[in-house]
A and B are shown apart, each in its own frame.
Chain A
Amino acid sequence: MSDGGHSPWYLAYRRLRRNRLALAFLAVFVLIVAFVLAAPLWADHVADTGPNTTHTTEKVEVGGEQREVVNIEGKPIGPLWFDAGGRFFLGADGPLGRDEMVRLMYGGRTSLFIGLTSALITAVLATLLGLLAGYYRGWTDGVITRLLDLIWSFPVVLLGIALGTALALGGLKIGPLEIAGNSIWIPILIIAVVYTPYMARPIRGEVLALREKEFVEAAVAQGAGSVRLMFGELLPNLWSTIIVFFTISIANNMLLEASLSFLGAGVQAPNSSWGKMVSLGSESIYTSPLLAFAPGVLILLTVLSLNVFGDGLRDALDPKSRSKLVRAEAAEAAAGGAI
């Protein structure tokens, strides 16, 4: 018991620090974030163009020779690396001749932004619903659980494209808030809602177990009200579950965003994302495979790094069987939410 003096968070941090695999993949994720954050730098100082600027009829100088960005058959130029000073580093996309590297960097910003914000909304919604259902039990629990089960009944991709298409056509109005059909907040909200049950269920389960513990009784004896019990006593015990789910949720949400955008029910023009780029690239898969592979591989790397790091985080936060339940449910959630 030499660890007795340290907080559980510090112990988790020490365990995480020993997990080389998880740290390596965290580094990959940080690199990807840095890559997309550097988009304006690369666009302004290296590529000298924007993500939506077309170069259909232009020529680019490669080693003293003038080459067409898009040839007469509509086939775009391949990767030039640094032959043209960093312009068209990964080539252009066809038939518009936009700089693929610049588009990848900006598209990744959208993908990551949607993944992060929707995961944040999912986490807040799921925590609130899980706390309310698990704390009040009875009919509150009944209503919330049924509502979550209802969403759970739909295959995620199908519910996503149904909502995505209907809302892209109509936009959304919530009270005073009006969202246009082509806003990226439409896919963000859709993804957040669709995945809420997968996170709310295990949190509810944990709250149900926690509220039988002595520390809750002690707080009740001290005269704590419902709000203090939920947010002052129960919530602090849920943080480790929430953090693990949040990390894996970013990965799942990014995959769903990519699938929706791929099918045309996610990010709408003029915005772009990696999923939308794969969709565009798949149209010329046999002539310019890189246009589909590059954004696809970036999605894979991002999602993989988050999943591996999330696993490491889970091992660090609950090393023993404390949440065998949570682990089983997490696997189930990952499976049920899988696309």
Chain B
Amino acid sequence: MARFAVRRLAGMVLVLFAVSVLVFAIFNLIPNSDPAQRLAGKNAEPILVKSIEEDWGFDEPLPVQYWETMKKIFSGELISYGDQLNVDERILEGIPISFSLCIGAAVIWLLFGLLFGYLSATRAGTWVDRVLTVGSVAGISIPVFLIATVFLYFLTYEIELFPASGYEPLTEDPIQWAYHLILPWFTLALLNIGVYSRVLRSSMLDVMNEDYVRTARAKGLSERRVMTRHVLRNSLIPITTLFGLDFGATLFGGAIITEYLFSLGGVGQYAADSVTNLDLPPLMAITLFGAFFVVFFNAIADLVYAYLDPRIRLGESAQ
């Protein structure tokens, strides 16, 4: 296990480096115009553009430019030229909000996704299965902004049941915190409820054909015990990998639109506002940190996966 962990983490460091090079390329290399001009933002003074050019080393060779860019992002010196505010500080402010949103949503989607998946796998072919299958395809197909606008109109305006915007810190008032986040949580969770119930269903149906399940039945275990102890537990293994990929993707994906529509003020809303203002420095930092987080979280999920399924780590060291 230790060898597997070291190899996996060494691989992670390489990927992180490649990710940072790609982020640098996206913002400073690929587009067909002057990078200093783009970074400066709308209606920038020529003096500002000139000083950015020197500051970021755009007249230096590419490795120097890359180094300067990374130094700015990681040292906390990066500022937005639109509002002169420090980018890293603003991101740090937003992190508790984004995590509150995504962890809550993850709890909901795991709870309902696994419940629905379990129900439709154990009742495969019945009307329960069919209803849940159609429901999960519908869940996958609903755009986040449609759920959000429907919630906003019907549940905060037509019936004033929930607040339409704002965030209350958990440390100040846990009840208000949850109350403000209920709609955003469900908005964000709906898509993944569909995904997870589908994945768990097909994974359980595969496991049900395994020999050890037949053995468990032959031993005379109750159907319920076979399902929970033998089928469900083994079917959950692929879910850990999936969750490793999804959590980061949700934090910097669906959460951007959800935070924006419910005006929560987290990292996602910062990203959305930066797109509106065509403000590149914050986007650069968020893209880099977002991808770093995904890579990192993914590595952790792989370690958990290897811990749960010895075949993975043994197979790896046998090679």
- Say yes or no for A78: interface residue by CB 8 A criterion: no
CB contacts (< 8 Å) of A262 on chain B: these are: 145, 257
Known contacts being A155-B252, A157-B254, is A263 close to B202, with CB within 8 Å? no
Chain A positions 152 through 178: 1 when the CB is less than 8 Å from some CB of chain B, otherwise 0: 011111110111111111111100001
A161 touches B275 (CB 8 A): yes
B146 touches A300 (CB 8 A): yes
Known contacts being A158-B291, A300-B143, A336-B246, is A153 close to B252, with CB within 8 Å? no
Main secondary structure of the interface of B (DSSP, over half): helix
B195 touches A335 (CB 8 A): yes
A338 touches B195 (CB 8 A): yes
Stretch at the interface among B20-28, B48-56, B168-176, B306-314: B20-28
Partner of A282, one of B15, B145, B191, B199: B145
A169 touches B195 (CB 8 A): no
Interface range, A side: 35 or more
Instruction: Determine the distance from Cα of A299 to Cα of B43 in the docked complex, in whole angstroms.
Output: 35
CB contacts (< 8 Å) of B202 on chain A: these are: 327-328, 331
Partner of B31, one of A21, A159, A169, A258: A169
Partner of A285, one of B152, B256, B295: B152
CB contacts (< 8 Å) of A164 on chain B: these are: 275
Name B274's closest neighbour in chain A (CB-CB): A165
Instruction: Determine the distance from Cα of A331 to Cα of B196 in the docked complex, in whole angstroms.
Output: 9
**Chain B proximity of A177: nearest CB distance (Å):** 11
Q: Which of B266-289 contact A (CB under 8 A)?
A: 271-272, 274-276, 278, 280, 283-284, 286-287
**Chain B proximity of A295: nearest CB distance (Å):** 9
Q: How many positions in chain B have a CB within 8 Å of any CB in the partner chain?
A: 67
B252 touches A263 (CB 8 A): no
Q: Which of B150-173 contact A (CB under 8 A)?
A: 150, 152-153, 157
Instruction: Determine the distance from Cα of A161 to Cα of B252 in the docked complex, in whole angstroms.
Output: 11
Instruction: Determine the distance from Cα of A211 to Cα of B255 in the docked complex, in whole angstroms.
Output: 42
A158 touches B290 (CB 8 A): yes
Instruction: Determine the distance from Cα of A95 to Cα of B138 in the docked complex, in whole angstroms.
Output: 33
- Say yes or no for A264: interface residue by CB 8 A criterion: yes
Partner of B278, one of A169, A289, A311: A169
Instruction: Determine the distance from Cα of A335 to Cα of B242 in the docked complex, in whole angstroms.
Output: 8
Partner of A338, one of B26, B153, B191, B206: B191
**Chain B proximity of A78: nearest CB distance (Å):** 15
B31 touches A296 (CB 8 A): no
Instruction: Determine the distance from Cα of A317 to Cα of B136 in the docked complex, in whole angstroms.
Output: 22
A150 touches B137 (CB 8 A): no
CB contacts (< 8 Å) of A327 on chain B: these are: 202
- Say yes or no for A84: interface residue by CB 8 A criterion: no
- Say yes or no for A77: interface residue by CB 8 A criterion: no
Partner of A328, one of B32, B140, B203: B203
Instruction: Determine the distance from Cα of A275 to Cα of B137 in the docked complex, in whole angstroms.
Output: 20
Return 23 A-B CB contacts under 8 Å, by A number: A150-B19, A155-B291, A156-B253, A157-B252, A157-B254, A158-B291, A161-B283, A162-B27, A163-B26, A169-B31, A169-B33, A251-B141, A265-B275, A278-B145, A282-B145, A292-B149, A296-B145, A296-B146, A307-B141, A328-B203, A328-B238, A336-B245, A339-B144
Report the 3 A-B pairs with minimum CB-CB distance, sorted nearest first: A170-B31, A296-B146, A170-B33
Which residues of A are interface residues toward B (Cβ below 8 A)? 21, 146, 149-150, 153-159, 161-173, 178, 251, 255, 258-259, 262-265, 275, 278-279, 281-282, 285-286, 289, 292-293, 296-297, 299-300, 303-304, 307-308, 311, 324, 327-328, 331-332, 334-336, 338-339
